[in-house]
Amino acid sequence: MPDLLIAQRHSAHLDRVVEALRQVHESDGYPMVWPDDPVAWLTPAGWIGAWVALADGVVVGHVMLVAADGVEHIEELAAAARTSVTGLAGVSRLFVTPKARGSRIASALLERVEDTPTRRGRRLVLDVVDDCGPAVRLYERLGWVRVASGPAAWTGPDGVRPRTAAYLCPR
Ligand SMILES: CC(C)(COP(=O)(O)OP(=O)(O)OC[C@H]1O[C@@H](n2cnc3c(N)ncnc32)[C@H](O)[C@@H]1OP(=O)(O)O)[C@@H](O)C(=O)NCCC(=O)NCCS
């Protein structure tokens, strides 16, 4: 098992993050539509922080902390957390390359986000396609609390609105 390092993402990592994302898109359809500009997709407006998982220097995972206003079901999340939307921060763009899965890399990335001072006391939230898949199982195993679910505000490549679920971090 190679040495795993969770590090803050730097611009020098971006090409390798895009390559990792391409593998994930090809195997899992995440993201559902391949972005025209993947670097822009990895540096959205309002992003607060980003981390990579490196196994012997190879990017095998990624996660971001973003402003919460774009998270699905945000009003329900704010009500459940008894705070305003600015009291929340979103976990986003979490992925692990197919060959590196099942070794708790995603869990390690989420722990790093939970522990970051950049969070400034904000409660963490996220949305996920509600498909009973590995991501939903991961959040539930880690104790994230399901607050709401319903049709997404966006449509997939087939023109259908998938169901999304919104989760609140337990701490
Ligand atoms: C969701 C995702 C990030 C999980 O990454 P991961 O690093 O494999 O996650 P973990 O290793 O922490 O856990 C995944 C599975 O491995 C299992 N596992 C982890 N460590 C284990 C161990 N030591 N022994 C046995 N099983 C283990 C977990 O129980 C879990 O199993 P389950 O999904 O069948 O319940 C990854 O599947 C992915 O990138 N998916 C595509 C992108 C995506 O959907 N992102 C989420 C967007 S919201």
Task: Give the chain's domains with CATH numbers.
Answer: 4-122 (3.40.630.30)
Reply yes or no on whether the pLDDT at 139 is more than 70: yes
Q: Which residue has the tokens 């963490």?
A: 124
* Adjacency order of strands within the sheet including 145-151: 4-8, 47-55, 58-67, 88-96, 123-129, 163-168, 145-151
Rounded alpha-carbon distances, angstroms, from residue 81 to 27, 107, 124, 168: 35, 22, 9, 8
- Taking only the tens place, the pLDDT of each residue in 79-98 is 999 999 999 999 999 999 99
Reply yes or no on whether the pLDDT at 2 is more than 80: no
Q: Token pair for residue 119? A: 């969070």
User: Distance (Å, rounded) from C-alpha 31 to C-alpha 95?
Assistant: 10
Distance from residue 148's CA to the centre of ligand 1 (Å): 22
Q: Whose CA is nearest to atom 48 of ligand 1?
A: 128
Q: Whose CA is nearest to atom 44 of ligand 1?
A: 135
Cβ contact 93:49 at 8 Å: no
Residues linked to residue 150 through DSSP beta bridges, in sequence order = 164
